Structures are given as structure tokens and as C-alpha cells.
Structure 1
Amino acid sequence: MNFKRNAAVLGVVAVGAMTLAACGSDNNTASSSGGSSVASDATCEGKTSLSAAGSSAQKNAMDNFVSTYISVCQEKGKDVKIAYNPTGSGDGRTQFIAKQIDFAGSDSAIKGDQATAAKDRCAGGDAWNLPLVFGPVAIAYNLDGVEGLTLNGEVLAKIFSGGITKWNDPAIVALNSGVDLPDEAITPIVRSDSSGTTDNFQQYLTTASNGAWTKGAGSDFVGGVGEGAKGSAGVAQAVAGSPGSITYVEKSFADQNKLTVAKIDSGAGAVELSEETAAKAIEGATFKSEGVGDLTLNLDSIFGTKAAGAYPIVLATYEIVCSTGYDADTSAAVKSFLTSAANEGQTGLSEQGYVPLPSNVQDKLNASIAAIG
């Protein structure tokens, strides 16, 4: 499936066509492309104002979706407003359950007690997790004269739990034949704030470390070592200024700070992080439920990939919606906006460090969006 050209411009915001509530400094600048009109299956029907909140990791992607959708609807003679507040995944889920927003963005699927509570919010219907945004997580490091470093899940688990403390540790040397690694201390830089990126990175370590990571996962870093920095921008800037350091951070922040990024060897050879290698891991993703509806991912199918040329550390952000229980106008508007985001809205995401949806995931997502009641 080919992505349609994004004709939206963020200048639309200045004339008041959109209300975008964005807060905090942990954001990159989103971009969108000017040009010809946008072809879209979005109807622009339903209520003209939607509200959402949650994951800051998808904030720049959401900017792209919103600006594109405004352009689509203006060409259909309709003005729409979408407010997205990047308050964090946990807050987004809380606001969704409390009926304060129409949908939530979350780096973790809604589940357990929150999923049960969401049934009340959705008038007895289930809340669905729809993966709309994928962003690779870079392993960024600052080691003078060393480029193209290769690491794997087991070594990373030991670095971030204190089992490996020197750059010339035999386990790192074994992965980097011919590379002159210094007898220098490793300084892990970790998120000091609760973060979906931390949760996903620790889930990756749990899956890919051959048992070396025993700490578990969660939004707070549990490795017990390292120096903390707040937000994606904070850890990236800390590594940029700290020789011998290493961190996990979204690719866009690593690029912005011109950080050196490690290759990952999952057993089929070292794989460099790129849009194509991350997309290959996503293409192989499986879902906890087959068919149309909830699309919660089996993250092990990504983090544990053994496919040659697949980069495994990829964060997925879900849009959490009611499968049923919306009033008719809200249902129509949510479906219309997400249809646009899943298709023409994907254009331009790679420029911001995200990975556009592979066609097999895009097709499943479109089917589930259409099934929202």
C-alpha cells in the first residue's frame, strides 16, 4: 500500500484551524510537507473537535497526523480541531478512563484493572489498543574513536545492571573483532522519570538477554546502576557531554544530538539502526488476538526477532479507543481522524525518526478502525 502525499503545512495552526495543546520541552520540532492536495478515505464526519492526551514519544507524529487531517478536511469544506496534550502515557490512560478525552496515546497497552475500568467508560464495550506509531530506540554511546560498535541483548543487560563496567570487557570485545576498545569505565545514563521508553527497553532486555536481565520491566528504570537524566532530551544531552557513557533513547533524539549509535546483533549478524531495518522487525510482529479489533502486540515477536537485517528495539505507541460506547458523532470523528493518520498521515514520519507502518500492519489497523462502533 502506497502512502499518500502529505500536503498539510503547520502554518495552518497559525490561522486557528487547530487547537494543539502541547507542553514540556522534551519535544523535537515536527515537520510536514507542502504541495498538492491530499487524497484520503477520511470522511471528516462527526463532531468537529476531538481531544486526546498521552504519550510524549508520539507527539511529533501526532503533529503530523493533525496537520494532514486538517488539510484533508478543509478540502472537503470542513473545519476540524484536534487537541493532543503529550502529558505521558499513564496520564493519557487515566484521562481516557475518566471520559476527559476521546482517545489516549500510550506506549503500553491498556490492560488489567485499567482495561476493566475502561469498560465503564465505553458503556460496556472493550477498549482497543491500536498501534499507530512506531519509533526505534537507539543505543547511543560516547566513546572517542569507536564507531560501528556492536552489542547484543545479553551485553546490554549486563551493562545496565552493573555486570559489565568496562568498555574492554571480554564480552564486548568478542562482539567487536578488530576494534580497539579502551580500558575505560562505562557510565550508563538512564531515564530518571517514568517513561514508556524505559518500559519497552527493559522488556527488550527481558526478552533478548538469555536470562541476563532479571530485574523485570516497568516505566521506572530498575537496573540499579547509572546516572539519571529527565526525558529523552535529557539522556541524549547527558551522553553527548559524558565520555564513556551509553543510553537508550528514541532515534530522533540521538540524531538531533549527533550521537553515535550501536549496531545490535540478535544472532543473525550485526544490524545497523535504520528505517528499513526497524520496519523489518515490525513486519514480523504478531498480535495477541487475531482478526479485527484489539491489536495489542506480542512484543516478544519484535524484541526477540532473529530475522536477518531486523533491528529489534522498537517502541510501539497505541491509540486507545472505545470499540463501542461512543456517541455517533464522536465515533464518526475518531474513525475519520484515525483513518487519515493510518494512511496519508504516515508520510513524512521517517523525517522525524519514526517508522511508517508496514503494509501488513497498516491493513490490520485500517480494518480495526473501520470496526469502531
Structure 2
Amino acid sequence: MTTKRYATALALVTAGSLVLSGCGSDDNSVRWTLDGADVAPIPTASVPVDCGGTQALSAEGSTAQKGAMDVFVAAYTQQCPGQQLSYTASGSGAGVKQFISGIVDFGGSDSPLKDSEARDAVDRCDGAPAWNLPMVFGPVAVVYRLDGVGELVLSGELLARIFSGAITRWNDPAIAALNAGAALPELPITVVYRADESGTTDNFQKYLGAASGGVWDRGAGKTFLGGVGQGGQGSPGVADAVALGQGAIGYVEWSFAQDKGLGMALIDSGSGPVELSPESARTAIGAAEIKGQGNDLVIDLEALYASDAPGAYPLVLVTYEIVCSKGYDPQTAQAVKAFLTTAATAGQAGMTGSGYVPLPESFQQRLLTAIAAIA
């Protein structure tokens, strides 16, 4: 028998970093603090969650969203007792293949379906299109080690020149021009990149291409194409190499930068330096443009990465849940919608503690509309 529960803010407290307040008030948003700092409210969007249907869902794909999925599953099992979802973090390519093959109920991917994959997904979804739902946003930090330099400002153009080997020393005049007053050392720059194929690398290179004004001409892809530096295995390997190497610079998901206590560069996209924070990343996401049609919510990454919106930190990794718009059996459709609705509402309360960014309200509403239309 179907039970109706309502999405409320779920206090998924991680290591005491997330503090919820405002309970019992008429305010339908949650005020939260991170390490004592007041941050913008996370809307709870009190919408009905129709619990029930298939008790054991399965999903597979992106490793970048694994931490977020853990938070979502915890919210789902609390919201809908007895319901479960198993997520296998095997990589985006595997997740898309397993979804198209009908082995899992939905897939997780660091990029939307390619045209050929979208055509194959129509067969999996009984003649209906699959939708790309951008559910998880994770900032990518540009991390560095420069002892004595407490704040470092870089631009898309400078990053493109650094990661292609055109700028090789930290006291280069172009870096100094953005960091007036900073005591930049006369040290060689050691670029650290992901040695393995990675969606983070793909998105970082897409950012370099969009934000550098044509300086980055190496293209994108899951393999680093800069031609300089040393590789680290996975994000932990990159973070460790930067932490140990004076003069090193690399790129990792925000959570790894936080865990290692690494210096994170501010990015100046043309409207002044912007520090990576929950609010600056949410500002960028809130201004993101949708290029998909209808409820297929594909983000225009080029526009996002090239944005010079004031206060926005544009270097954000977008990961999608790939779902059938129609074609599920009724029991599976009910459970998929319940899980995704919970993820888009109550599950957002645990995002920052896991290195992700809670959805801005405007974007959250677009997702909820799409989720409700799944049949």
C-alpha cells in the first residue's frame, strides 16, 4: 500500500559541520551554517514524495557523484522506510551502458548522453526518450602549494597557459599582474594532472577551452592533453602530489581539497576574484543555461564555464541521472520518482558536508517538474 510522506529538510550531520535551524517556523527554507559561517538558505520545497513501488532500485555510473548518492540513499531510506537503492560507482561509461541495457533502473554520468547513446536509449525506454537530469554539482578546486602565499588569483587564460606549459614559473609577470603585492617565489611550476581517464579532467579541459579566450587549443576528453607535468592516480593521487610538492598546482574535486587542507586559487573570470564557496558555486549554477529540450535538462557547459557573472565560481562539475521519460513499469516508475524527488529536496541538506553544492531553488524547481513527468 502506497504511503504519502512529505519532503522536509533532513539533518544529515557530517562531523558536526552542518547545523540546521529554523525548525517550527513558518519559513519553508532551512538556514544552515558551515563551520560557523551563515550561508544562503536551502529550500526544502515541501512536495509530496509518493513512497512505494519497487523496494530495491539499482543505479550505476559516475564515481564523482558517489558521495552525493550516499547522502541521497540515506535520505531516501529515512523518507521511505523499507525502500532501498544500490548505487555502483563504476564510471560514467559503464553506467550509461548498464542503463541502456536495462540492467539498472537509471545511470549516473559526468556528461549527457551522446546522440548514438540517446538513440539506443529509446529502445530501452520502450520508444520514449531518455532524459538527462543534472542532480549533482561538484566544484572543481584549482589547488596549489606555495608556502608563504596565502591567496592566489588565477584566470581561465592563465590556467590554460600554465597547464599547457606556456607559463613555467610562479613569478611570471602575467601571474604577478593578477596578484599585486603577493610575494610570488621564483619557483618552477609543477603541473599535476589525473593520470587515469577522468570526467574531472574532461570538464577541466572544457573549462580551459571556454574560459581562456582561445588560448587552450588542446581540446577536451578524459585524458589530460596539456603535455606537461606529472600524473597522479585518481583525485587522491593528485591531492597528495600537490600537498607534497612545493610549487605544484593541480585540479581536484572540492572535497579532496578540503580533506588535505590545500590552498585553493581564486578565479577571476573578468568580474573580480571569486573564492570557491557554497554560495559562489550556487551562483554559477543558478545562472546556468539549459540547452536540452523540455524536461531533458542538459546544461550548456560552454556558457557556464565562459560566464563572467559577478560572484560566480564557474568551474563546476555537472553529473546527471539518466532516466527513462516513459517506459518503466508502474512499480519502478513510482520508486524512481520517489528517490529522485527525495534527492532533489531532503537530500540536498547533506551536500556541502560531502563536497557538493546544494541546488539553487530555481534549478530545483526545474528538476522537480521533470521528475514529476516521468511515467
The superposition leaves residues 149-195 of structure 1 with CA deviations (integer Å, 9 ceiling, x where unpaired) of 00000110111111111111111111111111111111111001111
**Cα distance in structure 1, aligned partners of 2:108 and 2:287:** 23
Contact 1:8 1:34 survives alignment (8 Å): no
d(CA) in 1 for partners of 2:96, 2:296: 16
Match of 1:361 in 2: 363
Q: CA RMSD in A?
A: 2.2
Q: Deviations over 1:177-219 (max 9, x none)?
A: 1111111111111001111111111110010001110011111
Deviation at 1:258, TM superposition (A): 0.5
Indicate if the aligned counterparts of 2:11 and 2:350 stay in contact, CA closer than 8 A: no
Q: Which moved more, 1:38-47 or 1:215-224?
A: 38-47
Structure 1 residue 62 corresponds to structure 2 residue 69: yes
Shift, 1:326, TM fit: 1.3
Q: How does 1:1-373 map to 2 (within 5 A)?
A: 4-7=8-11, 41-74=48-81, 79-289=82-292, 291=294, 293-373=295-375
**C-alpha distance 212-30 of structure 1, shift in aligned 2 (>3 A):** farther
Q: Normalization by structure 2: what TM-score?
A: 0.88
Gaps of 5+ in 1: 11-28
Supply the distance in 2 between the matched residues of 1:176 and 1:9 (Cα, whole angstroms).
37
> Percent identity between the aligned chains?
54
1:7·1:71 contact (CA, 8 Å) conserved in 2? no
User: Which deviations, in whole Å up to 9, do the C-alpha atoms of 1:301-341 show, x marking residues without a partner?
Assistant: 32111111111101111000011111111111111100000
Aligned residues: 348
1:15 paired residue number? none
Name the amino acid aligned to 1:264: I
Change in 2 beyond 3 A, CA 1:218/1:258: same
CA contact under 8 A between 1:137 and 1:251: conserved in structure 2? yes
- Tell me if structure 2 keeps the 8 A contact 1:8–1:33: no
Residues in 2 aligned to 1:45 and 1:32: alpha-carbon distance in whole angstroms: 29
Q: Distance in 2 between matches of 1:278 and 1:191?
A: 23
TM-score, length-normalised on structure 1? 0.89
How far, CA to CA, are the matches of 1:358 and 1:218 in structure 2?
28
Change (3 A) 1:31 1:168: closer
* Local SS of the residue matching 1:224: coil
Give structure 2 stretches of 5+ with no counterpart: 1-6, 24-43
Asked if 2 retains the 8 angstrom alpha-carbon contact of 1:162 and 1:225, the reply is yes
In 2, Cα distance between equivalents of 1:314 and 1:181: 27
Hey, what's the Cα distance between the residues in 1 that align with 2:155 and 2:251? 13
Q: Take 1:69 and 1:255, find their aligned partners in 2: how far apart are those partners? A: 27
